[in-house]
Chain A
Amino acid sequence: MKSFSHMEVKTETKMFPKIEFNMESCLGAMDCGKCFQACAPHVMRCYTQIPEGHTMHSKEWIPIATFPSLCTGCMKCVDVCPKAENGAITVKFEAVRLPKKIFKRT
């Protein structure tokens, strides 16, 4: 695949976020959704895995982190979360090896 060709070239060690949701304490993306509404670079969005018969206001809509590489670690999502102390959302940074150039502005 041509757009991934740069991945063989060089890698660097970088701090990368690990954003995790605990759906047992999360209030649901459509009913609450404060975490991804607070996120300026849109790291997270909501998503449903149940294709049929879901309604908008239900726990079937869950938040997921689609663009973790855009996360700056400002922790606003954790600050606004009403269930943060129950571990609904955790953001941890860990060192991973990444390709040197991930993004190209076009």
Chain B
Amino acid sequence: MCDWCTEHGKGKKWYMAVENYVRKFDELDEWLKEWNSNYRAVQAKLWGPVSAEMDILKTRLSPRLEKLADYDWEEGFAKYHSSQIVTLDEAKEMVDVSGAKGGFVKLACTCRKYKRGGKYAGPDNTLCLGISAYASMYHEHPERIWKEHKIETVSAEEAKEHLEKCSDEGMCHNASYVGSPAYMSKLCNCEYPVCVWLQWRLDWGITGILKKGHYVASLDQDKCTGCKECVNACQFKAISYSPTYERAILKEDMCFGCAQCMRVCPEDAIKMVERESIPALKEEW
């Protein structure tokens, strides 16, 4: 159990607690009210110059950017908009838990829109699955929808099918909240490096933006035949192939617990174990 679970989970994992799905989008804190009234301005403010200057700040030590260093990015993201990796089974369970509270919408992925542009930002870019917060936002405030985007309302079964399809294509799932901590908003289907969560965590080491999942992959070395399927499936570079041993090598400390390796393994050599069961990784999130 991570600290979000102990704080907001009511004894369960935070994304499995029904309480975190039922609040209304408009009842959230001041920051989100600003987001509500001027959604695009805040988005541009949050993702625009900030990310450009963060990089320069980290690499060039420009004195003009000193004031940016005062802002605690770790805490800022953890407070407003953060996420955690979940497995496909957990994601499907989340669809069940969220139930009819807001419904499901397939909406445009903002990361892909900003990172790829052009035809990738067009109407076919409907990979994110909005639940709860985002679903209610798209129902109650249709004026906030980017007009060029296609917004699809889907049933629970279609949502699960969509998640499975994304898993088959090698994307990992992210449970993300918006506004006050642990208020469920989206189930992202992410790929490195297009995804903002993954790139900021992996390339910049900002841990506040993305938490590791509750599971860790565990490799059975006797069953492994060295087919390298899992090496391709891992987006976090946690698995490599060893020509000496003629099998895969799994670095548990780099595993985020997305379970993609388990999904592609033809020999059932990889299984997911609870993070709590590994002493060294117990507090690694």
Task: Give chain A's interface residues, CB within 8 Å of chain B.
Answer: 1-4, 7, 11, 16, 29-34, 36-37, 41-42, 45-52, 54-57, 61, 63-70, 96-99, 102-106
Contact of A46 among B38, B114, B202 (CB under 8 A): B114
Tell me which of B12-20, B48-56, B96-104, B270-278 binds A.
Answer: B48-56
Query: CA–CA, A96 to B51, complex, Å?
Result: 20
* Contact call B40/A51, Cβ cutoff below 8 A: yes
Interface residues on B, range: 35 or more
Report the stretch among B70-78, B129-137, B151-159 that lies at the interface. B70-78
Shortest B79–chain A CB gap in Å is 15
Binding-face segment, B21-29, B115-123, B171-179: B115-123
With A1-B72, A41-B193, A68-B55 as contacts: A106 and B114 at CB distance below 8 Å: no
26 A-B residue pairs with Cβ-Cβ distance under 8 Å, sorted by A, are A1-B71, A1-B73, A2-B74, A3-B73, A3-B205, A4-B58, A4-B69, A31-B118, A33-B117, A37-B116, A45-B115, A45-B117, A46-B117, A50-B44, A51-B45, A52-B41, A55-B148, A56-B122, A56-B146, A61-B117, A69-B59, A99-B59, A103-B203, A103-B204, A104-B205, A105-B254
* Residues in B neighbouring A99, C-beta threshold 8 A: 58-59, 61
How far apart sit A29 and B48, CA to CA, in the bound complex (Å)? 14
Chain A contacts of B114 at CB under 8 A? 45-47
State whether A37 and B58 are in contact (beta carbons under 8 Å apart), knowing that A1-B70, A51-B38, A66-B52 are contacts in the complex.
no
Q: Would B118 and A106 count as touching, CB distance under 8 A? A: no
Q: Given A1-B70, A3-B73, A105-B202, are A33 and B118 neighbors across the interface (CB < 8 Å)?
A: yes
Question: Does B206 make an interface contact (CB < 8 A)?
Answer: yes
* A48/B44 contact (C-beta < 8 A), A98-B59, A104-B205 known: yes
Given A36-B115, A47-B48, A66-B55: A106 in contact with B69 (beta carbons within 8 A): no
Closest to B254 in A: A105
* Sample of 5 more A-B contacts, CB < 8 Å, known A1-B73, A4-B58, A102-B58: A3-B73, A16-B59, A16-B60, A70-B203, A96-B60
Nearest Cβ in chain A — how far from B238, in angstroms?
10
Q: Please name the 9 residue pairs, one residue from A and one from B, whose CB atoms are nearest each other, closest first.
A: A33-B118, A33-B117, A51-B41, A46-B117, A42-B193, A51-B40, A56-B148, A66-B51, A45-B115
Measured between alpha carbons, how far is A56 from B254 in the docked complex, in Å? 38
B237 is an interface residue with CB less than 8 A from chain A: yes
B56 to chain A: which residues have CB within 8 Å?
A: 68
Is B58's CB under 8 angstroms from A52's CB? Answer: no
